[in-house]
Amino acid sequence: MNRRFIFIALPIFSLLAGCASDRPHDYGDQRPPVDSISGGDSGLQSKDVVAASDQMAQDLLALPELNSSKDRWTIVVDHVQNETTDRRFDLDIFLERLKGNLAKYGHDRVALIENKRNYHGLQSNELEGEREGDQYQQGDSQGVNKPVYRGIQPDYSLYAKIIEMPNRGTSYFLCSFSLVDFRTREDVWNRDYEVKTER
């Protein structure tokens, strides 16, 4: 009786094992969570981008000056100054995620203004050269139509600087985020994210 059960059960177990092998192999290894450290990698990782941008957004939106203001703060997001040992990498991803967090959680208190260079690039690509009857159109000295599109002037600039101090086996990174008031040149908010990583 037991022998007959074994002969019947073996094909079933083989079939189940075959079905299990049809599933994506090591999916967790291929798509690990973005807020985790990946073994084998070194330096700044996605976990640092997530942790830093979450921490900075929470801190910035908790500013008493911002929350007591009657008007929304107009902020232009600039760039990350890369002062690490590898200057080839574009570290603007830190600010891009922070910008997304501010848009998501602070839209009633913060107005995000497009970077001037990107703004004019979008204008030249998408807006017509002549806009008859446009309230923003102006004529030059020869009377030729010369459209001028004025945007909102930002009150603040948000930028970051990432500095690395390398050692033989590790690197210390200081990620410094700053918000500058264009009207006074005052650094109204400055916070750091620090991390030590393997090289």
Q: Model pTM?
A: 0.74
Q: Which residues contact 192 (CB under 8 A, 6 or more apart)?
A: 174, 175, 176, 177
- Determine, yes or no, domain membership for 162: yes
| Whole-angstrom distance, CA of residue 187 vs CA of residue 175 | 16
Long-range contacts of 49-52 (CB under 8 A, 24+ apart): 49/93, 49/94, 49/97, 50/97, 51/193, 52/94, 52/98, 52/175, 52/177, 52/193
pLDDT of residue 128: 76
Overall domain count for the chain: 1
- Determine, yes or no, domain membership for 165: yes
pLDDT of residue 5: 47
- Determine, yes or no, domain membership for 192: yes
- Determine, yes or no, domain membership for 140: no
- Determine, yes or no, domain membership for 23: no
- Determine, yes or no, domain membership for 47: yes
pLDDT of residue 127: 81
Per-residue pLDDT of the chain (199 residues), as tens digits, is 555 544 455 455 455 555 555 545 565 567 878 877 777 677 899 999 999 999 999 999 999 999 999 999 999 999 999 999 998 889 999 999 999 999 999 989 999 999 888 888 888 888 876 444 444 445 455 545 556 666 788 999 999 999 999 999 999 999 999 999 999 999 999 999 999 998 8
CATH number of the domain that residue 178 is part of: 3.40.50
Domain that holds residue 160: 42-124+148-199
Two tokens at 103? Answer: 């848009």
- Determine, yes or no, domain membership for 12: no
- Determine, yes or no, domain membership for 197: yes
